[in-house]
Structures are given as C-alpha cells and as structure tokens.
C-alpha cells in the first residue's frame, strides 16, 4: 500500500470538501457551546464526555485529510507487466495505458485507478486500492461522531435536567450590530 500524496484539481470537489470542513467546524463549535459545556458546568455530565467528543472529532478530521490526499492507486505511465500476467491486463480506451482488469478510468481525475470503487466528491479523490481502508475509516469516524452528537442532542432535550442558566443570545441575531448597516 503506497501512501503517496495525491491532489485532484477539481472545483466541484474542492467545493464539497469546503462544505464538509465548514460543517465539521460548525459542529465542533456549536454542539459543545450549546449542549456539552452548559451541562458540564451544571454537573449533569462528566468532563470525559467532552474529551471523547473532541477526540472523535479529531479522528474524523484526520481520516478526512488522509483519505483526501492519499494516492488511490493511480497506474504509472509505463507499468512493468510480468510475463505470466499479461492476459489479465487490458488497454484503456480513454488514456491508452495498459491496466489490470479490475482497474477503471476516472473521468474526473483523468487517469486509471487500480480496483477503483468510485470518485467521491466529498473527499475530492477516487476511492481505490490504496485508500479504500482510509475511506472506510472516514465513514466509521463520521458515523461515530454523528451518533455521539445526536445522542447528546437527544439527551439535551429529553433526558437532562433543564439548564438553570440559559444563554439566549446564542439563538438570537445580535440586533445591536444591525444598526450599523
């Protein structure tokens, strides 16, 4: 598994990546500020739950970066084909390179990828032989973070005691700044 750094120049993919990072940053700020920190200050939850939330968030971001920049298994320009395996290779009709039978040509990236699964716009990269495991890690950590945040949101509304001190400015537009415009 060669973990070479690989970047795809695709405006749609960069837009999707930016959206993912924005949602991640929004949740990493909003969930703790509205749910975790107020309930921790009032003694409803222990501090280790906040540390676990941030730990999963960091794992999710690291998995996103690793899946995005790792080479998915791009085929070289002049592959060295062993003599015994020549019948398992074929010619790509789009880039005119020899490729193994389970390889596919990605129209977004413009090259053939070994054991290509799909081109994922959310990581702005193909999912292939060399980064498939990293993509599955990203899916796992994203699901874990989502379930953890949903569990705290559910507990905030239905299980925890009501907060004694509510900061309603978090939910209202700061109208004092509107007078300037």
Active site residue 147: no
H-helix or E-strand containing 91? Answer: strand 89-91
Give CA angle at 18 (15, 19), nearest 5°.
90
Tell me which of 106, 112, 120, 126 is the catalytic residue.
Answer: 120
Residue-wise DSSP of 105-173: EETTTTEEETT--EEETTTTEEE-TTTHHHHHHHHHHHHHHHHHHHHHHHHHHHTSPPPSS--GGGSS-
**Catalytically active residues, by annotation:** 120
């Amino acid at each position: 598994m060669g973990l070479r750094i690989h970047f795809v120049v695709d405006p749609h993919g960069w837009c999707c990546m930016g959206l993912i990072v924005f949602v991640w940053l929004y949740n990493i700020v909003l969930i703790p500020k509205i749910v975790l920190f107020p309930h921790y200050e009032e003694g409803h939850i222990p501090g280790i739950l906040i540390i676990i939330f941030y730990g999963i968030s960091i794992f999710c971001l690291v998995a996103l970066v690793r899946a995005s920049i790792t080479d998915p298994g791009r085929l070289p320009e002049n592959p060295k084909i062993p003599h015994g395996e020549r019948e398992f290779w074929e010619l790509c009709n789009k880039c005119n390179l020899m490729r193994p039978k389970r390889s596919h040509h990605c129209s977004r990236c413009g090259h053939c990828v070994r054991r290509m699964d799909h081109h994922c716009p959310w990581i702005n990269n193909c999912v292939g032989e060399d980064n498939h495991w990293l993509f599955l890690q990203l899916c796992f950590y994203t699901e874990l973070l989502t379930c953890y945040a949903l569990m705290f949101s559910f507990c905030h509304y239905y299980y925890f005691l009501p907060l004694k001190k509510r900061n309603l400015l978090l939910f209202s537009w700061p109208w004092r700044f509107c007078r300037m415009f």
